Amino acid sequence: MSTLTRPRQLDIRLSVDLERDLRPHRSAKIEAHLRVEIADTGVPAELPAVELAVIIALDLAEPHRHTVRHALPAALRALPDGISFAVLGSGPEPKLSYPVRGEEWAVADSHHKRRAAFTAQALPLHRDGPRPAGYAAWAARARTLLAARPLSVRHLLLITDGSSGPGDTRLDEELDACAGQFTCDVLAVGTDWAPDPLLTIAERLHGTAEFVEDGLGNAITAAIRRLRRVHSPELPIEVTTRPTVRQVGLGEKAPRPHRLVGLFQPGEPGHPPRWRFPTYQWESGVRDYLLTLAVDAEADPLETDLQFAMVSIGDQSVPVIARWHRADERKPYVVDPEGGASVRSMKEVTAMYIALRTGLRALDLLQREVAERHLGEAARLAKRLGAERVLAEIRVFADIVDDEAGRVRLHATVNTETLGQRILWAGSRPGGPLTEAPARAGSGPRCAGCGHRAGPEARYCVKCGGQLL
C-alpha cells in the first residue's frame, strides 16, 4: 500500500510497561503496554496531495438525494489540487460516476473539481430494484481501482445509509483481500444501518466508523484533511522473541481499537524468530498497544531477569524483560503495585467500552436484564477511570443507582433511535491515549539489596526502602 521508509525528521519514542515478577507455568502469559509517541519535528505540516488516492463511495438510497446534492459538490470543490480521486455511485453494482469518458481516476484541478461537482447532482443512488449485495461489493470495487494507483496513501471513504442488500457472506473474505492494500473510513447517515459490519470494516482496514447527522460535506473534507497529516503511511512493529515464546499478539487500543494481524518470520539458524505487525497512517501523536506473549516457562530459571522479546519500530527498540517468581508458601507473593499498572488500566478501559457496547446491543434487542448488567459494569469501570463521557452515554438510557457497585436501572421508556450511533462511538472511538504514559520500567537504577529496578527519578526502592546508588 505504501512505502515502509519513515521520514528522517520523524521523532519516534517507544516505551514498554509490564508486571516484571510473574509466576511460571507451561502456558504463561506476559502482557505489556506498548506506547509509541511520534513528533513531527521538521516534517512538513501536510503530505503532498499528489501522494494521495481517495475513493468517495456513496452507498445511499434515493431518499438521501438532497443530502448528496448539498454535501458532495462542496466537498469535491474543496479537494486539494493534485489529489487522485474517484467517485462511486450506487446501483446493482458500485458504478464509477466520476471521472467519465473511460478514465478511472481524475487528478484534482479546477477543471475536474468543477465537472465532478456538476456530475454529483445526478449521481446514481439506490432505487427500487436490485441493490449491491452488501459491503463486500464496495470493498472489492475499491480494491480493483486502487490497485492501479500505487501512491503512498490509498483510501476508501465509504458513505452508507445501510441500503446495500442484506445477507453479505463475503465481507470477511473480501476484507482479508483488502488488508494492506488500502485503508477505509466509514461515514454512516440516516438510521437504517447496522453498526457491527461498519465497525468490522473500520477495524480491519485501520480506519474509523462514525455517525454523521449533519454536515456530510464537512465530514468528507475533514477525513481527507486527516489523510494529509499522515507522515508515514506504513510502519511495521516488529517483535523479536526468545525461543520459549510460542505466540505473539498485538492490538491497538487507542486512539482507535484495531486487531493487528502478525506475520511470522521463522528465524534462520543462529537468529531468533520474529513477528511483524503492519500498521498504517502514522501522524504525530500517541498510540497505545497491548502486547501479549504466550510463553513456555517450564525450563526457564527463577528469580532471573530474562529478555522475552525486543520490540522495534523505525530505528527505536525496547526490550521486554521480566522474571519468573515462584511464591514461597511461608511468604505470600505480593505483586508490585506499580509494576504493570498501565496494562491493568488499559485492560479496564477496553473492558469498559466492551461492556458499554454489549449493553447497548442488548438494549436494541429489548433484553433489559442483560442490558442493565453490562451497562452497570460499564458504569462501575467508568467511575473508577473517571470516564465522564461513558457515564453520560449510560445516563441517556438508565439511571445509575450505584456506580461503585455497578448497578443501573433502565428508564421505563427507552428511545432506541440513537443506539446505532452510540454503538459506533463505543466501538470506534477516536480520541487520546488510554492511560498515562508508562514509567518506562527498567530505565532507572537497580536496588543493590533486593534487585528491583526503579524509575529514572527514584532515590529509594519501593520494595525494600533501601537507598538507591
CATH number of the structural domain spanning residue 189: 3.40.50.410
Separation between Cα atoms, residue 85 and residue 89, nearest integer Å: 13
Q: Determine, yes or no, domain membership for 337.
A: no
Residues 112 and 201 in one domain: yes
Q: Are residues 209 and 104 in the same domain?
A: yes
**Cα 447 to Cα 168: distance, rounded to the nearest angstrom:** 59
pLDDT in tens for each of the 469 residues of the chain? 544 344 445 688 898 888 777 788 778 899 999 999 988 666 667 889 999 999 999 999 888 898 898 899 999 999 999 999 999 998 778 889 999 877 899 999 999 999 999 999 888 888 766 677 789 999 999 999 999 999 989 999 999 998 876 556 789 999 999 998 999 999 999 988 999 999 999 999 999 999 998 899 999 999 999 999 887 888 899 999 998 899 999 999 988 888 888 999 886 777 788 999 999 888 888 999 999 999 998 888 888 889 999 999 988 999 999 888 876 543 444 444 445 568 888 889 989 999 999 999 999 899 999 999 999 999 999 999 999 999 999 999 999 999 999 999 999 998 888 899 999 998 887 666 665 544 443 444 556 555 544 444 344 454 454 555 4
Partners of 263 in the β-ladder = 276
219 and 238, same structural domain? no
Give the integer Cα–Cα distance in Å for 90 and 161. 12
Burial of 319 (0-12, 13-18, 19+ CB in 10 A): middle
> 121 lies in a domain?
yes
Q: What are phi and psi of 200, to 5 degrees?
A: -65, -45
State the residue range of the domain holding 153. Answer: 49-228
Q: Are 155 and 111 in the same domain?
A: yes
Same-domain pairing of 166 and 295 = no
| pTM (two decimals) | 0.83
Burial class (CB in 10 A: 0-12, 13-18, 19+), 135: buried
The residue to which cell 441500503 is assigned: 163
Looking at the structure of the chain, the number of domains it has is 3
Domain shared by 185 and 303, yes or no: no
- Interatomic CA distance for residues 195 and 364, integer angstroms: 11
Tell me, yes or no, whether 452 lies in a domain.
Answer: no
- Using CA atoms, how far apart are residues 94 and 145, in angstroms rounded to an integer? 12
Please state the φ and ψ torsions of residue 383, each to the nearest 5 degrees: -65, -45
Q: Which set of grid coordinates corresponds to residue 402?
A: 450505584
Same domain, 178 and 87: yes
* Residue at 459 is within a domain: no
Q: Are residues 402 and 294 in the same domain?
A: no
DSSP string, 223-244: HHHHHHT-SEEEEEEEEEE-TT
Question: Cβ neighbours of residue 319 under 8 Å, at least 6 residues apart?
Answer: 16, 307, 309, 310, 311, 442
**Domain membership flag for residue 317:** yes
Kindly state the helix (H) or strand (E) to which residue 158 belongs, with its residue range.
Answer: strand 153-160
Is 306 domain-assigned? yes
Task: Report d(CA 274, CA 335) in Å as an integer.
Answer: 30
